[in-house]
Amino acid sequence: MMHYRGRVFRPPFEENSLLLEATVGCSRDKCAFCSLYHDTPFSPSPMEDIESDIRFIGRNRTRFKRVFLVGGDPFTLPFKRLRRIGELVNECLPRVETIGCYASVRNVLAKTPEQLNELAALGYSGLNIGFETGLDDVLAFMDKGNTVDEAREAFARLSDAGIPFTLNLVMGLAGAGRGIENALANAAIVNEAQPQLIIVTALNVWPGTKLHDYVEAGEFAPPTLREIIEEEAAFLRATECNDTFFFGMHELNPVRVNGNLPQDCDFLADELEAGIARFPEHQLDAPIRQIMR
């Protein structure tokens, strides 16, 4: 029997991965737009449970090719714990080729280049990072816990170690009137970082978040639906990716597209702009509050 103590969230691309709980909750749990782990205090999973789960799966001769460590940001675990998990996976699950997890910029910067090299050699690959925005003032306002330059440093360290990564971006996070500015800032960082995968999600103002309070207090003006779609299209047109998959199919996204960059770049942007016509004007130009209720 596997040990799961917390809620399990995973990226859509991990549907065939072994979901192995390594942490419960998020070590930060402060980002203004996020309430995912408010009811789940952070704690590392006991190493005995992790080892027991890996050995249990190993005894059952399953065919998993990838392990995805579950929790808000399992890469926050100390290097030695991540190394031990990697060693156990290699020992007990010989078919597994890669190990991924959610990770923050701070989690990456807490590891030395040598440690990242060692984790890469153990199979760590495809880290899923909440980058959110390339604007420093927005990162600070949203209490993300890192600056743009720190993010750039983290992405460079991962690339140097040969650890591919996914960047998550939130369309509309800079608020009303700043969509194009956000798009260009995001594209500049993405062009430098060359992630394996980009996942974009439209901003939603969830009840129970600090962002919800900011909106109620008039301290944050949410963008309109039109601005969110135009921001995504502008972002795509400004990207210069060598080989990146773009995933914009999240259920929060008003127009859903995905494809390969650079070849599908203009097509995807055209689709987004054409999608604007599907909405009535009164919806397009009203500030989003909460798309899903």
- Using the minimum distance from each CB to ligand SF4, give the nearer residue, 44 or 275: 44
Please, what is the minimum distance in Å from the beta carbon of residue 108 to ligand SF4? 13
- Between CA 166 and CA 194 the distance in angstroms is 9
- Of 53, 105, 46, nearest to 76 by C-alpha is 105
Smallest distance from ligand SF4 to CB 275, Å:
26
Stretch of residues binding ligand SF4 (CB under 6 A), selected from 23-31, 77-85, 214-222, 232-240: 23-31
Note whether 135 binds ligand SF4 by CB under 6 A.
no
Binding of ligand SF4 by 22 (CB under 6 A): no
Does 130 contact ligand SF4 by CB under 6 A? yes
Output the smallest distance, CB 141 to ligand SF4, in A: 13
Measured CA to CA, the distance from residue 280 to residue 263 in angstroms comes to 31
Structure tokens at 206: 């969830």
In this structure, the chain runs to a length of 293
Distance of CA 130 to the CA centre of its chain: 4
In whole angstroms, what is the distance from residue 129 CA to residue 108 CA?
10
Q: Of 11 and 275, which has the nearer Cβ to ligand SF4?
A: 11
- Stated as kind and residue range, the H or E segment containing 169 is strand 165-171
Q: Which is nearer to ligand SF4, 4 or 64 (CB)?
A: 4
Q: What is the smallest separation between the CB atom of 78 and ligand SF4, expressed in angstroms?
A: 18
Residue from the set 17, 28, 174, 261 that interacts with ligand SF4 by CB under 6 A: 28
Query: Is the Cβ of residue 142 or residue 255 nearer to ligand SF4 in the bound state?
Result: 142
x/- letters, 104..123, toward ligand SF4 (CB under 6 A): x-------------------
Pick the binder of ligand SF4 from 18, 22, 26, 215 (CB under 6 A): 26
- Give the nearer residue to ligand SF4 in terms of CB position, either 93 or 103: 103
Calpha distance 78→108 (Å, rounded)? 11
- Reduced DSSP (H G I as helix, E B as strand, rest coil) percent helix, strand, coil of the chain, to 5: 40, 15, 40
x/- map, 230-269, ligand SF4, by CB under 6 A: ----------------------------------------
Which residue in 39, 34, 36 sits closest to 210, CA to CA?
A: 34
Render 66-128 in DSSP notation, one character per residue: EEEEESS-GGGS-HHHHHHHHHHHHHH-TT--EEEEEE-HHHHHTS-HHHHHHHHHHTB--EE
Smallest distance from the beta carbon of 244 to ligand SF4, in angstroms?
21
Q: What minimum distance in Å lies between the beta carbon of 30 and ligand SF4? A: 6
Chain positions 48 to 107 lying near ligand SF4, rule: CB under 6 A, are 72-73, 104
On whether the CB atoms of residues 222 and 176 are closer than 8 A, the answer is: yes
C-alpha–C-alpha distance, residues 184 and 189, integer Å: 9
The residue within the footprint of ligand SF4, chosen from 5, 7, 13, 36 (CB under 6 A), is: 36
What is residue 27's DSSP assignment?
A: S
Applying CB under 6 A, which residues contact ligand SF4? 26, 28-31, 34, 36-37, 72-73, 104, 130
